[in-house]
Amino acid sequence: MPQPMGAAVMTLQGQELLAKSTAGECKIKYMYMAIGNGDYSEQEKTKACLKTRTALKSEKNRYSFSDLFVEHKNLVKLKALLSNYDPIKKEALVTAAYYINEIGIYAKEEGKADDTAVLVSIATTASDNGDFMPPYNGQNPTTITQGYYITVSDGANVTVNIKGAALLAEDANKITDDTTKKRYKLGIDNGAMYYVEVKE
């Protein structure tokens, strides 16, 4: 059963990047979702403490985003496939089990070097331990589809890094309209191709 995470908190670095984007000084590129097993006290889980963080306590893995959905002008949903196995490189990503107690979103100013990405948002588990991530057993990978909502200045001016990301099975036949940003499902029925709008 999935374990709940606490409310996401925008960090001070995230607020600074959002302010620059709102002022038209930069475009934000969301780079990756990071997960870790850091332990946080109740005090450390408060908004006041989390907003000052510049990194996860104990980062374990990073994942490129599989997709981005513009929920409305100032809210986007980032999606990533968390796994203990990399299907592209065909190698184990997790060799020692851990609990996902923290999730972070990293972003940078578009056009700047990848290593300038900063922690812009963080969420910690609402209970003692988050979801369990087992080591890869050489047979069946464990996967978790993780969504994460982010506040933006303008959803039309946001980009994501999808390099190396796994395609989610449920998104394999979906496309996004370049102009309206509406999502459509493509299909074939008795040899005839069709599309239908989907709400996500």
Query: Which of 116-120, 125-129, 187-191 is least confident?
Result: 187-191
Highest mean pLDDT among 130-139, 157-166, 186-195: 130-139
The rounded mean pLDDT for the chain is: 84
What are 31's two structure tokens?
């780079």
Instruction: Determine the Cα–Cα distance for residues 117 and 64; give it in Å rounded to an integer.
Output: 13
Length of the chain, in residues:
200
- pLDDT tops 60 at residue 129: yes
Per-residue pLDDT, averaged over 74-84, amounts to: 88
Give the strand order in the sheet containing 67-72. Answer: 67-72, 75-83, 143-151
Instruction: Determine the Cα–Cα distance for residues 114 and 31; give it in Å rounded to an integer.
Output: 8
pLDDT digits (tens, 9 = 90+) for 100-114: 999 999 999 999 999
Beta pairing class for 158-160 and 28-36: parallel
Nearest-10 Cα torsion for 24, 29, 34, 39: 0
Nearest-10 Cα torsion for 150, 155, 159, 162: 60
- pLDDT tops 50 at residue 83: yes
Q: How confident is the model at residue 57 (pLDDT cuts 50, 70, 90)?
A: very high
Assign 47 to helix, strand or coil. Answer: helix
> Which of these, 145, 139, 149, lies nearest to 2 by C-alpha position?
145
Assign 180 to helix, strand or coil. Answer: coil
Per-residue pLDDT, averaged over 178-184, amounts to: 71
More confidently predicted of 114 and 175: 114
Q: How confident is the model at residue 121 (pLDDT cuts 50, 70, 90)?
A: very high
